[in-house]
Amino acid sequence: MARLYDSRKRILVTGGAGFIGSHLIDRLLAGGHEVICLDNLFTGTKRNIDHLHDNPRFEFMRHDVTFPLYVEVDEIYNLACPASPVHYQYDPVQTTKTSVHGAINMLGLAKRLRCKILQASTSEVYGDPTVHPQAERYWGNVNPIGPRSCYDEGKRCAETLFFDYHRQHGLEIKVARIFNTYGPRMHHADGRVVSNFIMQALTGRDITIYGDGQQTRSFCYVDDLVEGLLRLMAKDKDVTGPVNLGNPSEITIAQLAMHIVEATGASSKIIHAKLPRDDPSQRCPDIALAKTALDWEPLVTLDAGLKKTVTHFRNVLKSLK
């Protein structure tokens, strides 16, 4: 049973030591809530939450969501899962378990407590889309047996579980489909395009583009993304999602490389490598639902966000020396 005696909420964030999770926790603590940060530190890092340990309303718990958990909370944000290809392909079976068993365990906890729960899903549920931009009503074009399937299909199955718990048990759920997000606290070796390009530029290496660079992405700054998650969780029970959260400003990978060269002041050249299997050719969210249901849209421009992100990675490089 969720606690009823205090207006301050006790909130569980799984994957809380990760990139997005740690920023979300910052906002929740700033809002006066108590936060339990759950993470097994596979891709999350204590550096992302070091500044929080003196906060009496913050608690860190090292735990793997594939195992059951028994705590008393009022809300759950389920963000636990490696999200970059380098990390989720390292142990693909465990990645699927994290998405599926993790969802089952967190939904079971929410059912016992009768509390609201949010699932951090992903734009990868759309696969290599044949519809552009991608709206929530699109069912996707996903390879179920490819090297990315552990993540894509794991997240799709998690969404299925969330909606079945909602229909079968009346659980109050929220599902956010997160598109490419960037900002400070990204892991410097996560293999994502923004971190890859910035690290290559800052270390004087050439910037590697896979394929011809004409594939498109849209990049949302982490502060905007967190605002979207908070607004979705705050909505009444009729708004379940899934809701796309991302920046609809589409850009080619080649254009992104030039933005990063400019932001870093680097003299890096552009080189090309073979495109990975099942890499989407286009990825851009239709955020009409987020605008109408959440009154949300991204506010931070790409250049402003990259400036803050580059500063973060400069500091990371200093700490690695």
Q: 167-178: per-residue pLDDT in tens?
A: 999 999 999 999
Cis peptide before 92 (omega within 30 of 0): no
Pairing label, strands 10-14, 75-78: parallel
* 77 noted as active-site residue: no
pLDDT of residue 319: 83
Query: What residues does 216 pair with on adjacent strands?
Result: 252
pLDDT of residue 182: 97
pTM of the entire predicted model:
0.93
Out of 77, 151, 182, 221, pick the active-site residue. Answer: 151
pLDDT of residue 2: 47
Residue spans of the chain under pLDDT 70: 1-6, 278, 321
Amino acid making up residue 172: E
The top-level CATH class assigned to 10-181+220-248+281-299 is alpha beta
pLDDT of residue 113: 98
Give the C-alpha distances (Å, rounded to integers) separating 251 from 78, 141, 218, 219, 262.
Answer: 29, 21, 6, 8, 15
Give buried/exposed letters for 165-194 (b at 16+ CB in 10 A, else e): bbeeeebbbbbbbbbbbbbbbbbeebebbb
The runs of H, that is alpha helices, within 205-252 are 222-234
Query: What residues does 298 pair with on adjacent strands?
Result: none
In the chain, % of residues over pLDDT 90: 84
Judge whether 304 and 239 are in contact, CB under 8 Å. no
Cα–Cα distance, 220 to 180 (Å, whole number) = 6
Rounded CA Rg of the chain: 19
